[in-house]
Structure 1
Amino acid sequence: MATTPGRSLHIGPIPRGRAVIALALAAALVAFGLVAAANPPALAADEPAEGADIAQAALANPIRDNGADPWIEYYDGHYYMSTTTWDSTVIMRRATTLAGLKTATDTVVWDDSGTASRCCSHWAPEFHRIDGTWYLMYTSGNSQTNFDGQRLHVLRSTGDTPMGPYEFMGTPLPNQWNIDGTYLEANGGLYMMWSEWVGADQSIRIAAMSNPWTVTGTQVTISRPSASWETVGARVNEAPAVLQHEGRTFVTFSASSCNTPDYKLGLLELTGSDPLSTSAWTKTSSPVFQAANGVYGPGHNGFFTSPDGTEHWIVYHGNASSSQGCGNTRQTRVQEFTFNADGTPNFGSPIANGVTFPAPSGE
């Protein structure tokens, strides 16, 4: 989410084969006396009934209104999603289907209202499983109207899922403005990536970590906005998101001001051996995902895989009007993507609101 210190916020048909197989299997089980009546297990309040899951064979965008800076992970039978709240809280919702996230209940998993240094303007929560533990990184500051105090903060789950409960671990970069943090695991090391002002440019930076809440050593700038498509409305590179596939490491980032319909995604690739070397990163010469089909300002994305692990999906936010900007009009959207013959990701174009497409494989 683009911000300036001291300034304003800047498909196809549904397969029928599964239904036929399911009916045949049910008939066989009844014939052999293997179906027994039983009370179904209790469902959590945020989970749809099993029958609803089976019937949900397709979905449509948006997944959530007022859903800026979304992050989704699929883990142990559930999708988990968090988005920007603008207030003192971090929220999480979960469901057993992607479409179920539309109506799942928001649960407050963290509240900073009693801590002045990070009380306000909570943005861009991301949660990552590192060495078997869930960590949640988010941006917040000390004011709801002045964003000069925005910093990244890290929580650690003491539970087994992204629902927590969480404990506060630290502020990795307490003495400088920094937003939109994410983790990179590469070459046996752990790194933090974030967005920070470097002169007049909001840029992508990286540093090594000794643990998921502590930055160590040199901080390096790996991408500054320079091309015309990165400088519409403001000079912005923000919201890095890591995509690793077949031994290659890519990082998407959001470019230009989110106050414009030209907010979009660019792409970096780690083409060298050292993530802390600026020259090890190669930027594509053109954007890889941008406004189309009535979706404006698509950006600030994350990645997740289908339940069976065979499909790659992108989650991002976008506006339904070219006049909307960085506020709560941004909606959470999802869609499957593929890879080109040369191994680079192919995100296609944003799918228009209301157009149905198949749910992730394995639901």
Structure 2
Amino acid sequence: MHEARRGSRAGGPARPRDRRSVRSAAAAALTAVLLSIVSALTAPTAAHAGPAFTNPLNSTGPDPAMTWYNGNYYLMTTPWSGPLTMRRAPTIAQLKSTAPVAVFDAHAPGRDRSIWAPEFHLLNGPNGPRWYIYYSAGNGDIESQRVHVVESAGLDPMGPYTYKGMIFGPNNWWGIDGSVVTINNQMYFTWSGVPTTLWRDSDPHIYLVALSNPWTVTGPRTAISAPTHAWERQGTPMNEGPVAIQRNGRTFITYSASACQGPDYKIGQLEYSGGSVLSASSWAKKPTPIFQRNDAAGVYGPAHHAFFKSPDGTEDWIVYHANDTPTQGCGSTRTTRIQRIGWNADGTPNLGVPVSTSTVLAPPSGEPAGPQNSTWRLQSVNFPDRYVRHVNYDVRIDPHVSPAQDSQFRVVPGLANSNGHVSFESVNFPGYFLRHSNYDFVLAANDNSTAFRADATFRQVAGLSDASAVSFQSYSFPDRYIRHANYLLRLDTIGTATARADATFRLVS
């Protein structure tokens, strides 16, 4: 859970320069995998228009919550201090390079420290549908942590927001990691709390209580899970971060178990079995975890999570945080990752195993083409006043580009490979693309040759120096990346921290 815890243009088109031999791409064979009846996953036909991507979505991002709404993904993570922030973008690839925007900063003393785990929901309140953000905060002492609520002014997830209060009202309940679930037309609040009034005296449990409105609890609370299994007690006995996922009339609450400081932070599952929602006996705990470390993939402590639907509503996805090594702990090293989940033949969720950060993933089904076929500028990460531009058909990074169209490109599906690859077409010279030649870059007309298509195609990956930005790997020379050197654009191998920064960009609309 949290660290506090245990140019101008002249002349005609450039002539193609002498070429090296281009490696032909090997055709990838699709293998049909038969799933057993017990663990068979439903897999509806999906339409993936957006570019492929790799995890993580940022360079730091604990306790993520994410949704798709009205044409965009929205993502929040723990800010620790300062404003609650949100990222917004129409594709996962763009979300990775989008800067967070402050959406609420009116933190009064006593709730201005240890700001953790913001989670946002579109709920019907007294004034109609509004967005509500639930987050944990206090005065810096973990014993003061409580869950607070802010409400949007309208239907824009980016706000503005106003503070509604501490959700527990007069109850002296310790609590973090709040979420909301509606069961049988009644809203309930679920969170991680303790049986006594002091966190340090007890093991955190998963609680439920009814809500009279999105910011007010009503009636008694019920503990529906305690860390009783050995796998829930590794490092520290812990149940926290509960979130609901519902399908075919069934309600599951999944939660994080064991200590977030260690690699064995994992996810467990509860299911509502009928009867009184506020009766502990109405909730059945799965005796084994459903998502945990994957040493072979280099993923440790994968938990504190949420779920979201693909843009077309046909797929379920999990967003979670994890570390790259078993010793990184419960701080800012945790990054946000996502992957598609499935459903077992018995109707229970199948989260699979956490995938490595080198695994290329298709975007959620129904995602728009995003940066592909749209107009973008490539901003240097280490020289943020400079943008990739063409001048006399050469390519470099410059500030104050005039005319602006010299730094604008249509990011289109890769000419040689459209699966997770892109090409850059000039806005003011349609049909001319960025291509490498003798490891230098030029703007040249597409002659539709195999060599041209390969030299103008790049795989978009997480930024080499900043995972929240992007880098571009050559299709024809996969050991080389687009980078700037002395402000000129080149195709180079990347061996130093400076080179990694020079090869990292942001897509700016």
TM range (shorter): 0.7 to 0.9
Q: 1: distance between equivalents of 2:191 and 2:49?
A: 40
Q: 2: distance between equivalents of 1:82 and 1:14?
A: 38
| Cα offset, 1:89, TM superposition | 1.8
Moved more, 272-281 or 330-339: 272-281
* TM-score (norm. length: structure 2): 0.60
Q: 2: distance between equivalents of 1:177 and 1:89?
A: 22
Partner of 1:279: helix, strand, or coil? helix
| Cα offset, 1:98, TM superposition | 1.6
| Cα offset, 1:317, TM superposition | 0.2
Q: Any idea what the Cα deviations from partners look like across 1:168-209, whole Å, max 9, x if unmatched?
A: 111112523210000010111111000012353111011001
Amino acid corresponding to residue 265 of structure 1 in structure 2: I
The equivalences for 1:236-315 within 5 A come to: 236-292=238-294, 293-315=297-319
Q: Which residue does the alignment assign to 2:150?
A: 155
Q: 2: distance between equivalents of 1:142 and 1:97?
A: 37
Q: Any idea what the Cα deviations from partners look like across 1:288-316, whole Å, max 9, x if unmatched?
A: 00000210000000000111111110000
Q: Which residue does the alignment assign to 1:126?
A: 119
Q: Which residue does the alignment assign to 2:336?
A: 332
Q: Which residue does the alignment assign to 2:222?
A: 220
Determine if contact 1:2/1:257 at 8 Å carries over to the other structure. Answer: no
RMSD: 1.7
- Indicate the percent of aligned positions where both proteins have the same amino acid: 47
Determine if contact 1:200/1:235 at 8 Å carries over to the other structure. Answer: no
Q: Which residue does the alignment assign to 1:111?
A: 105
* From 233, 236, 239, the counterpart of 2:235: 233
Q: Any idea what the Cα deviations from partners look like across 1:8-46, whole Å, max 9, x if unmatched?
A: 513xx799xxxxxxxxxxxxxxxxxxxxxxxxxxxxxxx
Determine if contact 1:88/1:112 at 8 Å carries over to the other structure. Answer: no
* TM-score (norm. length: structure 1): 0.84
| Cα offset, 1:57, TM superposition | 2.3
Determine if contact 2:2/2:116 at 8 Å carries over to the other structure. Answer: no
* From 357, 363, 375, the counterpart of 1:353: 357
Q: Any idea what the Cα deviations from partners look like across 1:226-252, whole Å, max 9, x if unmatched?
A: 000000011100000100011000011
Q: Select the structure of larger CA radius of gyration.
A: 2
Q: 2: distance between equivalents of 1:307 and 1:133?
A: 20
Gap regions ≥5 residues in structure 1: 16-53
Partner of 1:160: helix, strand, or coil? coil
Distance 1:99 1:274, change over 3 A: farther
Q: Which residue does the alignment assign to 1:164?
A: 159
Q: 2: distance between equivalents of 1:92 and 1:211?
A: 24
Q: 1: distance between equivalents of 2:338 and 2:176?
A: 23
Determine if contact 1:204/1:240 at 8 Å carries over to the other structure. Answer: yes
Q: 1: distance between equivalents of 2:257 and 2:84?
A: 25
Q: How many residue pairs align between the two structures?
A: 316
Determine if contact 2:51/2:93 at 8 Å carries over to the other structure. Answer: no
Q: 2: distance between equivalents of 1:2 and 1:201?
A: 15
Q: Any idea what the Cα deviations from partners look like across 1:254-305, whole Å, max 9, x if unmatched?
A: 0000001000000000012221000000000000000002100000000001
Q: Which residue does the alignment assign to 2:56?
A: 62
Q: Which residue does the alignment assign to 1:136?
A: 133
Distance 1:128 1:76, change over 3 A: same
Q: 2: distance between equivalents of 1:284 and 1:62?
A: 29
Partner of 2:110: helix, strand, or coil? helix
Q: State the 4+ residue runs in structure 1 displaced beyond 4 angstroms.
A: none
Q: 1: distance between equivalents of 2:76 and 2:314?
A: 23
Amino acid corresponding to residue 336 of structure 2 in structure 1: T
Q: Which residue does the alignment assign to 2:5?
A: 9
